[in-house]
Structure 1
């Protein structure tokens, strides 16, 4: 995650919009700030931050201003445990994602073993083929209309 953001990019990428407000509405303090940051980070990176240091300081300050929580409260947000797991599930649901399952693994393996992985075919070098399979089977469209994250 880049750490430097222009004002225009910050507003375009880190502003809570539409249903985001419903999702943060029932949260307070550190959980409100942390959840808002997880939500926007996930849309930008298509993953969750591993630790708070990955979050750009300017984005933390901007999010804190939006949700009316002191940015210092981020230090109270728990990066392991039930709360963040629940928040991650809510964020995945917001974007139409779900955790990769054993069934998904079996389907991908079958695809790689079949036409997608045949010699000389698109998957022969294991380059673009798995990404094509992901795009077709796993990656939902980005809600901002900018394409997949």
Structure 2
């Protein structure tokens, strides 16, 4: 057995208590069957599958002798095996179980690996099952996808004829096949309209719960590439199943597309907002810088003639030392806007100039 060898043969307290209720001669054999089934989900086919060290470990725990009769057989073994199955929630397989398993493997596994020798009959059963679960109104809405949108009888007939001549789908299906455009509010509205159209078809809940993803994808691809004229020629059960699977998967992809569009649209809005704020800040910086120059000049003039009205009126509000510090800072740093502007211009020129040693004439 796999895993830690000692743990595999270790009896839990409840298991040991159960073993001790058996006849002393059967305790070791029962413990072997119990631990083997617990680890592998089945009983040993013969005694060669049971490890010698495992038998010794169980015998030590039970203080039981090891003899040639440790591996149980016959009616006693069958009775004890039945008790173990019940303990772990198992039962013996029946003919009906085998038939159910065969049918399930045929319908779900064989088709996945392409090994179903009766694939056509299986597909027919699936198609018939889906058709039976579709209400008449849903069938009509699915078939309506193969017809042009209602925009007047004469105009619709022209559109349908043009679509068939070009080998393309009618307007309704073409709308659902289309991919979303560039991220925008209009794109989101278009995708929401598609999703609303699909939801209006109203597929029954759980229609494809037992269908394999591979089968659903085959149906989707069939509807995605085949022209409506050819789709309409298929038997009702097959056509409706393919359309239903297409709608089922398209609803999921539309939801994903809407999420992506929403994220991209939010990013675009954020980027535009940032650019707008940057422009406003730059303009504001320019305006504030002009005001700062005036204030600095005012402070400088005030300090030049501090006596009289200035000392009586200005200094009580703004101290003389504060004004001196302000003027000192202004003379040391200059205009904030001019410094910022020079930095941006210098960086722009650096990005435009060729690297050191490059041939300007060659670049030209």
TM-score higher than 0.5 here? yes
The answer to whether the Cα contact below 8 Å between 2:11 and 2:35 also exists between their aligned partners in 1 is yes
The answer to whether the Cα contact below 8 Å between 1:41 and 1:48 also exists between their aligned partners in 2 is yes
Partner of 1:24: 19
Q: Which runs of 4+ in 1 moved over 3 A?
A: 123-126
CA distance in 2, matches of 1:54, 1:93: 23
2:32 pairs with 1:41? no
The answer to whether the Cα contact below 8 Å between 2:59 and 2:66 also exists between their aligned partners in 1 is yes
Paired residues for 1:34-113 under 5 Å: 34-72=29-67, 75-77=68-70, 79-113=72-106
Moved more, 12-21 or 45-54: 45-54
Report the Cα offset of residue 28 of structure 1.
3.4
TM-score (norm 1): 0.65
Secondary structure of 1:12 counterpart: helix
Partner of 2:305: none
Of the two, which has the highest radius of gyration? 2
Change (3 A) 1:124 1:23: farther
The answer to whether the Cα contact below 8 Å between 2:32 and 2:71 also exists between their aligned partners in 1 is no
Greater RCO, 1 or 2 (C-alpha within 8 Å, sep 6+): 1
* Structure with the larger helix share: 2
CA distance in 2, matches of 1:54, 1:88: 16
CA distance in 2, matches of 1:118, 1:84: 37
TM-score (norm 2): 0.29
Secondary structure of 1:76 counterpart: coil
The number of residues matched between the two structures is 116
Change (3 A) 1:78 1:40: closer
Structure 2: gaps of 5 or more residues: 117-364
Cα deviation digits, residues 17-76 of structure 1 (max 9, x gap)? 14312321211333100000111111222221222232111111110011110122xx12
Aligned-residue CA RMSD (Å): 2.4
2:7 pairs with 1:12? yes
Report the Cα offset of residue 78 of structure 1.
6.0
CA distance in 1, matches of 2:45, 2:103: 31
CA distance in 1, matches of 2:51, 2:33: 12
CA distance in 1, matches of 2:29, 2:43: 11
Structure 1: gaps of 5 or more residues: 127-149
Partner of 1:141: none
CA distance in 1, matches of 2:64, 2:110: 54
